[in-house]
């Protein structure tokens, strides 16, 4: 087993879309498909990887905007994963109307997640952590063996996710960070939805919001 992680900064809000793969089995997953990306698609093709999942941390428009396009590129059914508490947000176009536009997100996710669920990507084990606060159904994808956590808009380098939105809850966000993220190995790398990667230890020691 060998984990490959590629980061693509995409879209007007500069989202981090991650492409992960088990290079041994050539199975791959996209985490938070923000917009259509031929560069990302081409990397999958160049490596002869088989895209199995589109893993969504939460259903805001800037994290799901590319799902429909990527699904259209493949003739096999992709597993699009989302926590059920964010299905309503998905159905409303990821709150796009609140920002003055609308878009069609396409068919609903076909892989409904639950806390502590285990997903397999070749030999890679991905654990789903329900980490609400920014949205009710926000999740973090943990690859414990490789000390990697894809945390969406829960926590950033020296920052935390917004809680001033209608569906956000500051108490839940803080509990998710302190009760789940800060319980991880301090050396775990945090891959957020925006901005640079960081570590659990760095945020425990230096995040001004915590």
Encode pLDDT of 172-191 as tens digits. 999 999 999 999 999 999 99
Rg of the chain in Å (alpha carbons) = 16
Q: Are 202 and 194 in contact (CB under 8 A)?
A: no
Lowest mean pLDDT among 63-72, 89-98, 146-155: 89-98
Sorting pLDDT into bands at 50, 70 and 90, what band is 99? low
pLDDT of residue 139: 98
Q: How far apart are CA 180 and CA 20, in angstroms?
A: 22
> What would the pLDDT profile of 110-168 be if each residue is shown by its tens digit?
999 999 999 999 999 999 999 999 999 999 999 999 999 999 999 999 999 999 998 99
Q: Can you give the CATH number for the domain in which 191 is found?
A: 3.60.15.10
In the numeric block, which tokens belong to residue 184?
């991880």
Q: Are 178 and 207 in contact (CB under 8 A)?
A: no
pLDDT of residue 49: 98
Sorting pLDDT into bands at 50, 70 and 90, what band is 206? very high
Helix (H), strand (E), coil (C) string for the chain? CCEEEEEEEECCCCEEEEEEEECCCCEEEEECCCCCCHHHHHHHHHCCCEEEEEECCCCCHHHHCCHHHHHHCCCCCCEEEECHHHHHHHHCCCCHHHHCCCCCCCCCCCEECCCCCEEEECCEEEEEEECCCCCCCCEEEEEHHHCEEEEECCEECCEECCCCCCCCCHHHHHHHHHHCHHHCCCCCEEEECECCCEEHHHHHHHCCCC
In the numeric block, which tokens belong to residue 106?
């396409």
pLDDT of residue 160: 98
Measured CA distances, 68 to 63, 109, 113 (Å): 12, 11, 19
For the cut 70, the answer to whether the pLDDT of residue 61 exceeds it is: yes
pTM for the full predicted model:
0.97
- Domain range for 97 is 3-206
> What would the pLDDT profile of 101-118 be if each residue is shown by its tens digit?
677 888 999 999 999 999
Question: Terminus-to-terminus CA distance in the chain, angstroms?
Answer: 36
For the cut 90, the answer to whether the pLDDT of residue 53 exceeds it is: yes
Which residues, in sequence order, are CB contacts of 156 under 8 Å at separation 6+? Answer: 192, 193, 194, 195, 198
Count of domains observed in the chain: 1
Burial of 13 (0-12, 13-18, 19+ CB in 10 A): middle
Which residues, in sequence order, are CB contacts of 80 under 8 Å at separation 6+? Answer: 53, 54, 56, 67, 71, 109, 110, 111
For the cut 90, the answer to whether the pLDDT of residue 97 exceeds it is: no
User: What number is the average pLDDT over the span 71-75?
Assistant: 92
């Amino acid at each position: 087993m060998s984990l490959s992680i590629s980061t693509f900064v995409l879209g007007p809000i500069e989202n981090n879309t991650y492409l992960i793969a088990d290079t041994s089995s050539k199975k791959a997953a996209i985490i938070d498909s923000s917009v259509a990306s031929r560069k990302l698609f081409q990397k999958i093709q160049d490596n002869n990887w088989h895209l199995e999942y589109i893993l969504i941390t939460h259903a805001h428009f800037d994290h799901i905007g590319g799902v429909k396009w990527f699904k259209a590129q493949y003739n096999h059914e992709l597993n699009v994963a989302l926590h059920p508490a964010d299905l309503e947000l998905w159905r409303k176009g990821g709150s796009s109307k609140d920002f003055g536009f609308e878009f069609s997100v396409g068919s609903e996710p076909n892989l409904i997640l639950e806390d502590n669920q285990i997903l397999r990507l070749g030999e890679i084990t991905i654990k789903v952590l329900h980490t609400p606060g920014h949205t009710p159904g926000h999740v973090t994808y943990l690859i414990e063996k490789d000390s990697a956590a894809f945390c969406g808009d829960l926590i950033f380098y020296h920052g935390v996710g917004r809680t001033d939105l209608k569906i956000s809850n500051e108490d839940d966000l803080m509990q998710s960070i302190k009760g789940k993220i800060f319980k991880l190995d301090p050396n775990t790398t945090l891959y957020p939805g925006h901005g640079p990667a960081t570590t659990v230890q760095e945020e425990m020691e230096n995040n001004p919001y915590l």
